[in-house]
Structure 1
Amino acid sequence: MLEELKEEVCQANLDLLAHGLVVGTSGNVSGRDDESGLVVIKPSGVAFDVLRPEHMSVVDLHGTPVEGPYRPSVDTVSHVYVYRERADINGVVHTHSPYATSFALRGEPIPVFTTTHAALFGGPIPISGYAVIGEEEIGREIVAHVGVGTAVLMRSHGVFTIGADPQRALRSALYTEECAEAAHLAILRGYVEPLPPQVVQASRDWYLTGYGQRPIGAGS
């Protein structure tokens, strides 16, 4: 069942490893099927470099296993909480990417220092409260803090990102780490002034209306 989604979620998990956002078995990607409501997620404790689509776990929106040879990720209850609360979200990513996690360990949001950050996220990447690993509490913290954005730093833990599909959630994870690295390196040299709110908003507006491809005839 859900063979295409299994392939998509498996590839997104492999991409986490390829981009250096995860090590060992820590981290995961999930995707929700709109029609059935079922969720495909990385299995628990299986190394990224051996993952195959047939290894993926399928669960319902309460985390109950439906199909798959392995137990689903320990973060499953957190993922499905987000899906239950946010009908617009069909992809969730969790990483411990080092630069973003360094902000999470300090309990600090990632400030908006670059126009790239402003365009993609529209504001600082927020920090959550503490939450217990493997519990629904993490999902509650994600929903409570993400707002209109796509990324949350889980205090003393790591990063969660969301998207309309697994690939867009993955893209948010990649850019969260890029923005965190740039911010970290800049702060090492001294105080950095965050971008003014009007610059952040202008960059965000441009991204939402002017970036990417549009059909011919849809404007210049």
Structure 2
Amino acid sequence: MTNAPTILTLDCDTYSNDPQPPLCALCYLSDPKFRSKLGFVQFPQRFRGINKKDIYACEHKRLYKINPFGMDGLLGPNYLGTGCFFSRRVFFGGPSHLLLPEMPQLGPNNVVDKPFQSQEVLELAHHVAGCSYEKNTTWGLKIGVRYGSLVEDFFTGYQMHCEGWKSIFCHPDRAAFYGDAPMKLVDVLNQNKRWSIGDLEVAFSKYSPITHGTRAMGPTMPKSVFLVLGT
């Protein structure tokens, strides 16, 4: 719950390993050359707890390093669910098409002019922290993180690219963030099952890269999307 112009998303098991990434992300997001169409800056996922042989293939080098490097020359890497700095504007439609939420206080350009302890701000915070504020609204469909798939991170980034936003892959020598990798085979299988089902939900929906993606981004980007779907 924030009106900040830049938003960092992290998994609950992810922690910062370097104080410099926010400055790196802001350099990109504030650059006049990129600012008008740059939606987010993605850092690679790095993990603690992986054994030397990585017997469960938890590092996912192709998904988290190789693919993003290649896609960086197109519209940019997809959203990986963590270690990502967003421009707040990206959650409200394409670069040239602003969608306003049903509540003006939640709009991308709204400036809070009251103290956080004020009754009005506290009431709004309690409202958006509830389970029903997005019902019968465009939240989750056209605004904000997109629902409708078990892989909401991939689906959200893919939709943003379809709307015309670009992204940048920032890979500093020192790991920006670290997370925890699955420690047991059953956890690995459950994780990959969820990813596979979520990817198939997107592939066989009206937002399929073959149809929706080709119309929105041309013939090149859907191929890159399928690299993610096939990982």
TM-score range, shorter chain: under 0.3
The answer to which structure, 1 or 2, has the higher relative contact order (CA under 8 A, 6+ apart) is: 2
TM-score by length of 2: 0.26
- Name the structure where helix makes up a greater proportion of residues: 1
